[in-house]
Amino acid sequence: MLRIILGVIGLSSGILLLEGLRPVPIVVAQVKKDAPKGRKIAVLVGVNQYTNRPYENLRYAERDMERLKEVLEWGGFEVVMLLGSAKGNDEATQKNINDLLFDKSEKNKRYLLRDVTENDTVLIALSGQGEQIQVKVGGKETEVPFFCPKNAETGNPSTLISINSILEALDQKKPTSLVLVDACRKFVKPVEGKKSGASMDRAKVQSLRDGIGVMFASSDRQETVESTNVGGGHGLFFYGVLEAIKSATPNKQGQIVWEQLVPQIRTKVSEASEYVGVAERDRQRPQYIGNFSKDIVICAATKETIKMVDFEYVTEGKKLKSKCEVMEIDYGGGIKMEFVKIKKGKFMMGSPKEEKDRDENETQKEVEIKADFWMGRYEVTQAQYKAMMGENLSRFKGDKLPVEKVSFENAKQFCDKLNEKVNKKFSLPSEAQWEYACRAGTKTPFHFGTTMSSGLANYNDMFQSEPKKKNKTQVRTTDVGSFPANPWGLFDMHGNVIEWCTDWYDADKKQIVVRGGSWVHNPDYCRSAKRGYNFPLARVHDIGFRVCFPVD
Ligand SMILES: [Ca+2]
């Protein structure tokens, strides 16, 4: 699917925007005293279906903008989106775009730049058809790129949106500004007598002031492409933008910033271009002109919220209520993880000699957990694992089911990926941390008390003498958090999947400790003190994990 196929380019076109160098006249922005500080505004325009020929209809220009909107809203932008398929004020017509960006008249209430100041950030993204037309700017003929709104007429600048005019409008208002354009740059002869419509000439664009940038989907004389085969259907450029954001390494403040994305976008677009079969010499090479001494924060890599959460737990058959401190980390795309704050302290690790079914390796000793830490409230789910690792090899499939058939190595890789994305030190819990968190101050075989019974956890109760009722959940994993929490608010510490810890089980360093028993195991194996083990590369349908990280 070609967005454009470049026709014969006029001799005068040259390399767009690279001619001449002249300083930009400094325009002092009028700053209103009561103007809101630090707003982030985005205007997104996408057009699939054009009213007039010869514009070819597109399939994914509007989808480009819909996906970008999600990311920018997550990043705190106020987003105004105009689409070819929308109605009324939201339709991507030339008038609606003019109203938002250019028409300063008092009666135009939709003018977005009116109160914008240098403290604000404005991002404008355009996806659709485009043309390059030779027009007169300041008495001089110059070729400038135009975006085609839904009702554009080819070769008629007065029906189009000049990219240079957008840059000029932003230049006057002085917000930190970024313009992203995926539109054709085909040379079109102007219709007779229609040579006005642009403002800033290319020399000025080339020497943009600090804090303003423009990125085109391709370099001059290149085609831009859209394809069903990238990200479920996108223009390659905005696919590249979205992918670069998704895979970006955040800065120290946990933010994803623009300038860092630029090389990544180039790489992603080039890769996508290759992937959809564009010949090497025709591969899209986004052109970028920009100068930012201050970063544009596109979005945060993650959002953290800490709250007190009420929960119920069960001790010796009695239901009790408590609260715990929970940190929710939101990774975007609907993926969240929750962690419970575990306070440092001392506890007796292992089981007393009189504990029923105990093993010799559970020698009791006092252990001190020296620092507070955040412990996964739940086992890592398949949705979380898949979002991070791109695959899900679990035997039982379900977003809220714990991931299983993951090796110790897989679990560590998950932590590594998480650490790239979030500025924390994620790891698997140590065996001591795990047991400390599981016991949650209890000394009984289970945090539930002396016995475990159906309804308290997902384990195999076929071996239980009393009651001999069949536990309907025994033959597979269950959604995490389906059973009562422990006294500190952690779920599924007994049963569901058995969990990888960081410690070697044996002196020979052949096997890794796993804890808590699973849907496969009888209650004995689910006890707080029970020490299981397996080979680091073993992928078993009842071994999963949860992660933890230190409190700052
Ligand atoms: Ca478990």
546 Cα–ligand 1 center, Å: 8
Quick one: what percent of the chain has pLDDT higher than 70? Answer: 88
545 Cα–ligand 1 center, Å: 7
| 143: pLDDT strictly greater than 90 | no
40 Cα–ligand 1 center, Å: 43
All residues with CB under 5 Å from ion ligand 1: 492, 496, 516
Residue 440 burial (CB < 10 Å; 0-12/13-18/19+)?
A: buried
| 61: pLDDT strictly greater than 90 | yes
366 Cα–ligand 1 center, Å: 24
385 Cα–ligand 1 center, Å: 16
Q: Is 382:402 a contact under the CB 8 Å cutoff?
A: yes
Helix, strand, coil percent content, the chain, rounded in steps of 5: 20, 25, 50
Q: Is 535:511 a contact under the CB 8 Å cutoff?
A: yes
495 Cα–ligand 1 center, Å: 5
Cα–Cα separations (whole angstroms), residue 162 to 17, 197, 267, 412: 13, 7, 28, 51
411 Cα–ligand 1 center, Å: 14
| 6: pLDDT strictly greater than 50 | no
515 Cα–ligand 1 center, Å: 7
Q: What tokens does 171 get? A: 């230049």
75 Cα–ligand 1 center, Å: 35
| 540: pLDDT strictly greater than 80 | yes
549 Cα–ligand 1 center, Å: 18
Alpha carbons 324 and 376: distance in angstroms, whole number: 13
Angle of the 61-74 helix axis to the 236-247 helix axis, nearest 10: 20
Confidence of residue 506 (pLDDT cuts 50, 70, 90): very high
360 Cα–ligand 1 center, Å: 22
514 Cα–ligand 1 center, Å: 10
Alpha carbons 9 and 37: distance in angstroms, whole number: 45
What pLDDT is recorded for position 250?
80
Alpha carbons 242 and 265: distance in angstroms, whole number: 8
- What is the pairing mode between strands 373-376 and 543-544? unpaired
What pLDDT is recorded for position 423?
73
- What is the pairing mode between strands 78-83 and 40-46? parallel
Q: How is 308-358 classified by DSSP, letter by letter?
A: EEEEEEEETTEEEEEEEEEEEEE-STT-EEEEEEE--EEEEES--TTSTT-
Class of the domain covering 4-24+37-300? alpha beta
305 Cα–ligand 1 center, Å: 25
501 Cα–ligand 1 center, Å: 11
518 Cα–ligand 1 center, Å: 6
Domain extents in the chain: 4-24+37-300, 304-550
Position with higher pLDDT, 530 vs 467: 530
Q: What is the chain's alpha carbon radius of gyration, rounded to the nearest angstrom?
A: 30
494 Cα–ligand 1 center, Å: 5
Q: Is 292:210 a contact under the CB 8 Å cutoff?
A: yes
* 139-153, 432-446, 491-505, 536-550: the lowest-pLDDT one: 139-153
Whose CA is closest to 149, among 161, 158, 135? Answer: 161
* Helix, strand or coil, per DSSP, at residue 547: coil
What pLDDT is recorded for position 538?
97
Cα–Cα separations (whole angstroms), residue 474 to 273, 454, 542: 49, 9, 12
Mean pLDDT of 521-546: 96
401 Cα–ligand 1 center, Å: 11
516 Cα–ligand 1 center, Å: 5
- What is the pairing mode between strands 212-216 and 498-504? unpaired
Whose CA is closest to 201, among 179, 168, 176? Answer: 168
| 19: pLDDT strictly greater than 50 | no
443 Cα–ligand 1 center, Å: 19
544 Cα–ligand 1 center, Å: 8
| 445: pLDDT strictly greater than 50 | yes
Q: How is 331-345 classified by DSSP, letter by letter?
A: -STT-EEEEEEE--E
497 Cα–ligand 1 center, Å: 4
Other C-beta atoms within 10 Å of 91: how many? 18
Mean pLDDT for all residues in the chain: 87
304-550: CATH topology: paralog of FGE (formylglycine-generating enzyme) (3.90.1580)
398 Cα–ligand 1 center, Å: 16
Provide CB contacts within 8 A for 520, sequence distance 6+.
Answer: 460, 542
94 Cα–ligand 1 center, Å: 58
pLDDT in tens, 201-247: 667 777 788 999 999 998 876 778 899 999 889 999 999 999 999 88
414 Cα–ligand 1 center, Å: 17
Q: What tokens does 501 get? A: 């810890």
pLDDT in tens, 328-339: 998 766 789 999
362 Cα–ligand 1 center, Å: 19
What pLDDT is recorded for position 453?
86
379 Cα–ligand 1 center, Å: 6
Alpha carbons 453 and 316: distance in angstroms, whole number: 10
330 Cα–ligand 1 center, Å: 22
Q: Is 164:199 a contact under the CB 8 Å cutoff?
A: yes
| 11: pLDDT strictly greater than 80 | no
Q: Is the pTM of this model over 0.85?
A: no
Q: What tokens does 283 get? A: 């591969």
491 Cα–ligand 1 center, Å: 8
Cα–Cα separations (whole angstroms), residue 129 to 2, 184, 491: 11, 5, 53
Mean pLDDT of 450-470: 73
354 Cα–ligand 1 center, Å: 25
519 Cα–ligand 1 center, Å: 9
Mean pLDDT of 333-351: 94
444 Cα–ligand 1 center, Å: 18
